[in-house]
């Protein structure tokens, strides 16, 4: 960690950030939210830690959000699961290149060759090709992940093993099962024993009945003047390792601090080796589309180029809740935000740029947006249907414009209130790159077209790779 330079002397101004956060949350129509800022003390100095909360946990009840309320941090949980996996690597229980089938002998994926050769590294880096959005509910019992692993035998192989990067929730549930097999504990118990306890976390849980003892956030599908509460509070237990941790920002920052300080908790307890902390943040694989999350992926973390400065982080989205965690290791700074709205990207972009600019002199890159001047791109090669297990993307040209119709099916569509197709214009940005603004979104999202080395054509949207149908 390098905290030298002018930014090292910039202190957190609690009054400013409390007022600014409340102002921006209201501006973006978010029912309730928490913000935490951590600046690790250099050369033995004390840390600076600031937390604040604003708004309500539930628009229907009006319960006030506090800094001790807990929110679903969604897929930020993946970095926590990856951390426990790397602890087991530290202990020599397996290696990153160990085939998963050697650890979980009953693994039987749809493709027998993938069953034999998929490794722990493939799961950590989202390169397994296993359909990533299998949200099958396998019950509330302690055998939920064991049953889920059996269900993965029915999941499609979305792309050849290791051929590209595609966000894979399913792979992280399988990583949770690896943790269970190796430790003899449930994933929930392993997280408590190996992370929550040594980090001294008091408001972090994995099960809904544990979250209920705290003031807990409820998801909202819409905010603003007419907020709509989500019809479902959480996802099935089988999704736990991919996204079911519930926490407050102070606890999330304690986890981040451990990663900023080489693997040690605040009291000096060794949680992860310094070598594996570095490995988790190091480059592992390129992302085909570099504007939505990061330009590359580590082991759990995504990696961002912030105008020449390397940040790491992860976002999380559940049903009507969104969380954001960013670390700037060179400055020893981490920022965590929890919200109870389905998408808070505009708030994240505005707020985090202000925070990191003020405290570290580092600007978050400009929002992905449509060009100021129209760009001419021949979209004919991209026309067609792209399909994976739960999503159909149909690209077509009509009235001189490019359109994409998205049809979602399965558990996620049911949980979010239906599966009506959505059609949106694709605005050309550059060759093979377009911008789309989905319903109810204030932000543009990138849509990238590309081909694998074997010639198979893909669309990359929403961090997922979807193959083009050949017939």
The encoded tokens of residue 358 equal 């003020």
Domain range for 147 is 1-367
> What is the three-state SS of 366-414?
CCCCCCCCCCCCCCHHHCEEEEECCEEEEEEEECCEEEEEEEECCHHHH
Is the pLDDT assigned to residue 396 strictly greater than 50?
A: yes
Q: What is the mean pLDDT of residues 82-111?
A: 98
> Is residue 302 included in any domain, yes or no?
yes
Identify the active-site residue in 69, 75, 296, 390.
Answer: 75
How far is Cα 386 from Cα 406, in angstroms, rounded to an integer?
A: 10
Split at pLDDT 50, 70, 90, the class of 367 is confident
Give residue 6's pLDDT band: very low, low, confident or very high (50, 70, 90).
Answer: very low
* pLDDT band with cut points at 50, 70 and 90 for residue 409: confident
Look at the block and give the residue holding tokens 């003892």: 213
| Structure confidence at residue 171 as a pLDDT band (50, 70, 90) | very high
75 is catalytic: yes
Residues 326 and 435 occupy one common structural domain:
no
Identify whether residues 384 and 296 lie together within a single domain: no
Per-residue pLDDT at 417: 56
Last residue of a domain, one of 341, 367, 393: 367
For residue range 19-78, what is the model confidence (pLDDT) as tens digits?
Answer: 999 999 999 999 999 999 999 998 889 999 999 999 999 999 999 999 999 999 999 999
Query: Residue 3 has what pLDDT?
Result: 41
Residue that is last in its domain, among 311, 344, 367: 367
Q: Which residue has the tokens 């059996």?
A: 150
Tell me whether residue 372 is in a domain: no
**pLDDT above 70 coverage of the chain, percent:** 96
| Cβ within 8 Å of residue 442, ≥6 positions away | 28, 343, 345, 346
- Statement to judge: residues 390 and 254 lie in one domain: no
CATH code for the domain of 384: 2.40.128.50
Calculate the alpha carbon distances from 303 to 228, 310, 312, 429, 450 in Å: 33, 7, 5, 23, 21
Q: 19: which residues sit within 8 A by CB, 6+ positions away?
A: none
The Cα-based distances of 146 to 152, 292, 326, 389 in angstroms read: 10, 33, 32, 22
User: What mean pLDDT is reported for the chain?
Assistant: 94
Establish if 281 belongs to a structural domain: yes
How far is CA 109 from each of CA 103, 112, 167, rounded to the nearest angstrom?
14, 6, 18
Q: How far is it, in rounded angstroms, from Cα 152 to Cα 452?
A: 24
| Confidence (pLDDT) at 410 | 72
Strongest mean pLDDT among 2-6, 188-192, 286-290: 188-192
Say whether pLDDT at 412 is over 60: no
**Best CA proximity match to 288, nearest among 394, 380, 167:** 167
Query: Residue 439's pLDDT is what?
Result: 72
Domain match, 306 and 415 both:
no
Tell me the whole-structure pTM to 2 decimals: 0.94
3-state secondary structure of 313: strand
Is the same domain home to 237 and 340? yes
Q: Pick the last residue of a domain from 324, 345, 367.
A: 367
Q: What are phi and psi of 193, to 5 degrees?
A: -70, -40
Q: Is residue 373 part of a domain?
A: no
Same domain, 85 and 193: yes
Average pLDDT over residues 142-166: 96
In a domain, 265, yes or no: yes
Per the domain annotation, does 426 fall within a domain? yes
Q: Does one domain contain both 265 and 163?
A: yes
The answer on 389 and 278 residing in a single domain is no
pLDDT of residue 5: 44
Note whether 81 and 202 are same-domain residues.
Answer: yes
Check whether residue 233 and residue 168 sit in a common domain: yes
Assign residue 280 a region (left: φ > 0; alpha: ψ between -120 and 50; beta: otherwise): alpha
Please check whether residues 71 and 10 belong to one and the same domain: yes
The total of structural domains in the chain comes to: 2
**CATH code for the domain in which residue 268 is found:** 3.40.710.10
Decide if 453 is inside a domain. Answer: yes
Residue 470: band (very low, low, confident or very high) from pLDDT cuts 50, 70, 90: confident
Same structural domain, 363 and 388: no
The rounded distance, in Å, linking the Cα atoms of 290 and 368 is 10
Evaluate whether residue 98 is within a structural domain.
yes
């Amino acid at each position: 960690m390098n905290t030298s330079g002018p930014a090292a002397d910039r202190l957190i101004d609690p009054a400013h950030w409390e007022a600014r956060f409340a102002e921006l949350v209201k501006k973006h129509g978010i029912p309730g939210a928490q913000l935490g800022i951590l600046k690790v003390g250099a050369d033995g100095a004390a840390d600076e830690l600031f937390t604040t909360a604003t708004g309500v946990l539930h628009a229907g009840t009006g319960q006030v959000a506090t800094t001790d309320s807990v929110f679903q941090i969604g897929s930020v949980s993946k970095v926590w699961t990856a951390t426990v996996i790397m602890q087991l690597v530290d202990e020599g229980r397996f290696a990153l290149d160990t085939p998963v089938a050697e650890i979980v002998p009953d693994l039987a994926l749809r493709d027998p060759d993938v069953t034999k050769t998929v490794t722990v590294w493939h799961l950590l880096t989202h390169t397994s090709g296993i359909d990533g959005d299998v949200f099958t509910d396998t019950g509330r019992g302690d055998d939920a992940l064991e049953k889920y692993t059996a269900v993965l035998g029915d999941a499609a192989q979305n792309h050849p093993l290791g051929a590209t990067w595609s966000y894979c929730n399913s792979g992280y549930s399988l990583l949770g099962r690896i943790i269970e097999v190796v430790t003899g504990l449930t994933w929930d118990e392993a997280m408590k024993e190996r992370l929550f306890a040594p980090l001294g976390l008091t408001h972090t849980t994995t099960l809904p009945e544990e979250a209920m003892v705290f003031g807990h956030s409820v998801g909202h599908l819409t905010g603003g003047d007419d907020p709509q509460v989500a019809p479902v509070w959480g996802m099935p237990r089988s999704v736990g390792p991919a996204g079911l941790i519930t926490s407050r920002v102070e606890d999330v920052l304690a986890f981040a601090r451990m990663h900023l300080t080489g693997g040690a908790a605040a009291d000096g307890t060794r949680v992860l080796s310094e070598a594996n902390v570095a490995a988790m943040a190091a480059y592992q694989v390129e992302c085909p589309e570099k504007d939505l999350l990061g330009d590359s992926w580590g082991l759990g973390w995504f990696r961002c180029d912030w105008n020449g400065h390397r940040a790491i982080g992860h976002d999380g989205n559940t049903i009507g809740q969104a969380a954001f965690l960013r670390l700037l290791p060179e400055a020893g700074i981490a920022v965590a935000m929890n919200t109870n709205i389905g998408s808070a990207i505009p708030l994240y972009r505005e707020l985090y740029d202000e925070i990191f600019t003020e405290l570290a002199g580092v600007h978050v890159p400009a929002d992905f947006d449509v060009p100021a001047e129209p760009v001419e791109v021949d979209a004919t090669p991209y026309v067609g249907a792209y399909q994976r297990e739960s999503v159909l993307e149909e690209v077509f040209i009509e009235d001189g414009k490019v359109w994409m119709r998205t049809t979602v099916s399965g558990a996620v569509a049911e949980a979010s209130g239906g599966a009506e197709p959505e059609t949106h214009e694709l605005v050309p940005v550059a060759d093979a790159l377009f911008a789309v603004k989905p319903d109810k979104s204030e932000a543009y999202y990138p849509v990238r077209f590309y081909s694998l080395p074997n010639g198979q054509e893909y669309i990359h949207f929403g961090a997922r790779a979807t193959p083009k149908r050949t017939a």
